[in-house]
Amino acid sequence: MPLSEHEQRLLEQMEKALYAEDPKFATSLRSSGGVANRSRAVLGVLGILGGLGIVLAGMALPLAALGVVGFAVMLAGAVLIYFAFTRGSVATAEEGSEEGDAPAAQAQQPQQGKQSRRSGGFMDRMEERWRKRAEGDR
């Protein structure tokens, strides 16, 4: 059953308000790659469990090569899971910027400045603390 014109307008207004409030969340909801990312993550978990089974079989049977193969399968599963989550978040951010939605683009710009200052990384924060301590001691 299609929505009436009034309901469509309300839905558009709610979507615009969501983009204005939290553009990153809104673009992640809009992305279509979520199913593929979940399936890769599930495949990675199955790979880890299968690899663990192979490692256990290699320990039960005195075959070291089977244990190495099991470890490689577990490692491949872990890599699959890692890339399923990291590429998914990068893809949603790129999709949001490619769509050219004016409210999303305008609301996203101030937040990116805040994120770049906050997400300097662990080593950057440690270096900054070290510099502050060295300057304070002199």
What tokens appear for 73 in the block?
A: 């399968």
Query: Which pTM does this prediction carry?
Result: 0.43
Contacts of 99 (CB under 8 A, 6+ apart): 27
Measure the CA–CA gap between 23 and 11, rounded to whole angstroms.
Answer: 16
pLDDT digits (tens, 9 = 90+) for 39-79: 888 999 999 999 999 999 999 998 889 999 999 999 999 99
- Place 31 in a pLDDT band, splitting at 50, 70 and 90: low
Sole residue written with tokens 């993550």 = 41
pLDDT at 8 over 80: yes
Give the C-alpha distances (Å, rounded to integers) separating 55 from 13, 46, 49, 58, 116. Answer: 55, 14, 10, 5, 42
Convert the chain into a string of H (helix), E (strand) and C (coil): CCCCHHHHHHHHHHHHHHHHHCHHHHHHHHCCCHHHHHHHHHHHHHHHHHHHHHHHHHHHCCCHHHHHHHHHHHHHHHHHHHHHHHHHHHHHHHHHHHHCCHHHHHHHHHHHHHHHHHCCCHHHHHHHHHHHHHHHHC
pLDDT of amino acid 138: 55
Q: Taking 70 as the threshold, does the pLDDT of residue 137 lie above it?
A: no
Which of 1-5, 32-36, 82-86 has the least mean pLDDT? 32-36
pLDDT reported for residue 39: 86
Per-residue pLDDT at 119 exceeds 70? no
pLDDT tens-digit readout, 65-75: 999 999 999 99
